Structure 1
Amino acid sequence: MRSARLTFALDSGAFVPPADGNILVLRPHEGDDLSALPRDRVRVVTGFKPDHDWFAARGYAVSPRIDGPAAAALVCLPRAKDAARALVAAADAAVAPGGPVAVDGQKTDGIDAVLKDLRSHVALSEALSKAHGKIATFPAAATLTGWTASPAQVDGFQTLPGVFSADGPDRGSALLAATLPDLKGRIADLGAGWGYLSAAILKNPAVRDLHVVEAELDALDCARVNITDPRAQFHWADATTWKAPTALDAVVMNPPFHIGRDADPALGIAFIGAAARLLHPQGVLWLVANRHLPYDRPLAALFRDVTDAGGDSGFRVIRASHPIRPR
């Protein structure tokens, strides 16, 4: 869908990158086709590790942050409004004055609202509509300073726009934190976000070390601020493929189950599979999940003992122990 709008904008002359200089592509998703742009000039910028690795594997220059000036930019709009505004502001600041900044997004992700807000700040072109989304451009002028991302303080924790549950601990994580026993040994918090569960785990002095594993770099950077305990080790990684240095005594997680707007239980199931691989034979997984998610079968296939340890009308806290090793 994005490739259709990008090609349309390029062919119609609505988006005309200069002949020389880098072209930033901010926050594209795994699977996005960027072949309409010259690959040798494209600089993909994303702090989401699975997307970062996907584009790197296809030969693109990729970095988690904007690391230099550019001649043009394509902003792939995220769903969170504050994060979207911050991304547009970052592109506006990075592109040489007068260089084109294209803003692209799906209607379901709020492109109309962002373009409406943007029109009062920059010389925005008419939007082109295609494939259930829109794309519009404006000349960079570094005028969107009021749109930059600012950290927020929530219950003593730092968060940033766009990270999961940026307004405070989500209900599932709070339930899991309240249910956790006194853990000990080597632990991992998979999909740790900005560190709420990690902070709860580290209240126990019997924890030897804690691996804080998070795919979203903004969230992990918040976790580094929120957790100063020397037992914590931080990993910018896809939790479903991350490898621990040694077998773990416990894994704690509130796994995601959405990709964009679409529910995808396979993502949570992949987290469960990762936990089974990471634990030693007597290890324990502590998991919170929405009650409607189909995790019972994969849990039974991967662990010898699975019990409900708590929860409420919407969430289950699950204890699963003794992972089953494939023969």
Structure 2
Amino acid sequence: MSDVLDDLRRYPDVEAPNLYAVDATDRLVLDEAAAALADAADGTVVVIGDRYGALTLGAVARHGVTGVRVHQDRLTGERALHANAERLGLGGFTSHGMTPELVAGARLVLLQLPRSLDALDEVAGLVAEHADPAVVVVAGGRVKHMTTAMNDVLGRHLAVVEARLARQKSRVLVASSPRPASERPARRWPECATHGDLVVCAHGGAFAGTGIDIGTRELLAHLDEVPQTTGTAVDLGCGTGVLAVAVARLRPGMAVVATDESAVAVASARATVEANGVADRVTVTRADGAGDLPDASVDLVLLNPPFHVGAAVVPAAARALFADAARVLRPGGELWTVWNSHLHYRPALEQVVGPTRQVGRDPKFTVTVSTRS
């Protein structure tokens, strides 16, 4: 009989013969949780960190589980789950943010372990506070990315943490028995830190946390040179929203839109915007690139592009954002970009956006301005 896992795709994420929608960790988590899934009552199963739908649709198709609540950080992963479900004629799940409603009353949580210990801390804290006291967390990861610190983080919130035997270079941690509130750490997220007159807020797992990464610092150093004073500015791939807040303060006549496909980034950016008192002029949106912004509707784009997706170096991610910037910029509008100097993005910027000049450079980073042709 065909297994649903064999039919999953990564679409709309990048697809290639060496890229897979399901890995050994997905299969191990589902196998370890099989007995609990078979007995699960409607609405008591939660899935967190599902990449392309393997955990969610595996639970639904293999065990007839219904009412599954799902949280995925990447919008691409969320869309892949829904696309797979539609193509295979499956339902029985709903997508949620990282909120108490996600885990309220849950008795079984299937978790793809995040790389960030802070992200794991936020998940474990939410589960311990809001799930059913009988909840069991089945958390899986690749052995090469796992550390005993993960056991410690889970153990701060759940009293019993057991490591199961590894299989195909993956391992599962099973955690249960939420600690009473008096024994758990105080709720941390979002955390905020002050940098001069700028407050940066971050949820667990946000890139750079409450700090300001050095690439963003390089771009910040040149923002007062931006000529635009009115119209619309976009912080593309906004992370914690530092650039959006900075341009809103420097150019109070501009409306600012901050976009990111990461749910944790969007939640962090919204907190940062609120903390800095610019929520009346900055709109934060979860979107793939520039999302639904109309063509030729924007005067300024600020971009500190990622060159990693997970553990992989993916130059195509930056190039896709360059194309999105080109699409939404009006003729004469400008893309201000900071990038790792060794990546040599200038020819791509010239080709995709338009004439590009350098406004800053050091051994690590280059800051360029590209004018839309």
The TM-score normalised by the length of structure 1 is 0.87
Q: Say yes or no: does 1:149 pair with 2:188.
A: yes
The alpha-carbon deviation at position 246 of structure 1 amounts to 6.2
Tell me the SS of whatever aligns to 1:146: coil
Tell me the SS of whatever aligns to 1:35: helix
Aligned partners of 2:237 and 2:259 also within 8 Å: yes
Taking the aligned partners of 1:249 and 1:290, their CA distance within structure 2 comes to: 24
Q: Which residue of 2 aligns with 1:166?
A: 209
Tell me the SS of whatever aligns to 1:168: coil
The TM-score normalised by the length of structure 2 is 0.77
Stretch deviating more after TM superposition (41-50 or 161-170): 41-50
The alpha-carbon deviation at position 196 of structure 1 amounts to 1.3
The alpha-carbon deviation at position 149 of structure 1 amounts to 3.4
Taking the aligned partners of 2:69 and 2:242, their CA distance within structure 1 comes to: 33
Distance 1:82 1:206, change over 3 A: closer
Q: Say yes or no: does 1:275 pair with 2:325.
A: yes
Richer in helix (by share): 2
Choose between structure 1 and 2 for higher RCO, CA contacts under 8 A separated by at least 6 residues.
1
Aligned partners of 1:305 and 1:322 also within 8 Å: yes
Q: Which residue of 2 aligns with 1:51?
A: 77
Q: What is the letter of the counterpart of residue 123 of structure 2?
A: L
The alpha-carbon deviation at position 112 of structure 1 amounts to 3.5
Q: Say yes or no: does 1:186 pair with 2:232.
A: yes
The 5 A counterparts of 1:80-119 are 80-118=116-154
Aligned partners of 2:236 and 2:259 also within 8 Å: yes
The alpha-carbon deviation at position 226 of structure 1 amounts to 3.3
Q: What is the letter of the counterpart of residue 368 of structure 2?
A: I
Q: What per-residue deviation string (whole Å, max 9, x for no partner) do you get for residues 51-85 of structure 1?
A: 33332334441111341322211122211112212
The alpha-carbon deviation at position 208 of structure 1 amounts to 2.4
Aligned partners of 1:163 and 1:218 also within 8 Å: no
Q: Which residue of 2 aligns with 1:231?
A: 281
Q: 2:306 aligns with which of 256, 262, 265?
A: 256
Tell me the SS of whatever aligns to 2:69: strand
Q: What per-residue deviation string (whole Å, max 9, x for no partner) do you get for residues 268-290 of structure 1?
A: 11111100001011111000011
Q: What per-residue deviation string (whole Å, max 9, x for no partner) do you get for residues 80-112 of structure 1?
A: 112212212222334322232112222343353
Distance 1:79 1:193, change over 3 A: same
Aligned partners of 1:213 and 1:237 also within 8 Å: yes
Q: Say yes or no: does 1:23 pair with 2:39.
A: no
Distance 1:48 1:154, change over 3 A: farther
Identity between Structure 1 and Structure 2 (%): 21
Tell me the SS of whatever aligns to 1:304: coil
Q: Say yes or no: does 1:42 pair with 2:68.
A: yes
Q: Say yes or no: does 1:196 pair with 2:245.
A: no
Q: 2:256 aligns with which of 197, 210, 223?
A: 210
Q: 1:175 aligns with which of 204, 208, 218?
A: 218
Q: Which residue of 1 aligns with 2:18?
A: none
Tell me the SS of whatever aligns to 2:41: coil
The alpha-carbon deviation at position 17 of structure 1 amounts to 6.2
Tell me the SS of whatever aligns to 1:124: strand
Q: Which residue of 1 aligns with 2:15?
A: none
Taking the aligned partners of 1:244 and 1:227, their CA distance within structure 2 comes to: 28
Q: How many equivalent pairs are there?
A: 321
Taking the aligned partners of 2:33 and 2:204, their CA distance within structure 1 comes to: 31
Taking the aligned partners of 1:134 and 1:111, their CA distance within structure 2 comes to: 11
Q: What is the letter of the counterpart of residue 23 of structure 1?
A: V
Q: Say yes or no: does 1:65 pair with 2:98.
A: yes
Stretch deviating more after TM superposition (255-264 or 29-38): 29-38
Distance 1:264 1:148, change over 3 A: farther
Q: What is the letter of the counterpart of residue 164 of structure 2?
A: A
The alpha-carbon deviation at position 302 of structure 1 amounts to 1.3
Give the superposed CA RMSD: 2.6
The unaligned stretches of length 5 or more in structure 2 are 1-22, 86-92
Taking the aligned partners of 1:31 and 1:74, their CA distance within structure 2 comes to: 12
Tell me the SS of whatever aligns to 1:212: strand
Taking the aligned partners of 2:354 and 2:162, their CA distance within structure 1 comes to: 60
Stretch deviating more after TM superposition (314-323 or 150-159): 150-159
Taking the aligned partners of 1:186 and 1:19, their CA distance within structure 2 comes to: 49
Aligned partners of 2:200 and 2:210 also within 8 Å: no
Q: 2:269 aligns with which of 220, 226, 231?
A: 220
Distance 1:111 1:89, change over 3 A: farther
Distance 1:85 1:36, change over 3 A: same
The 5 A counterparts of 1:286-325 are 286-323=336-373
Q: What per-residue deviation string (whole Å, max 9, x for no partner) do you get for residues 225-265 of structure 1?
A: 23432222221222254424861111011011211121111
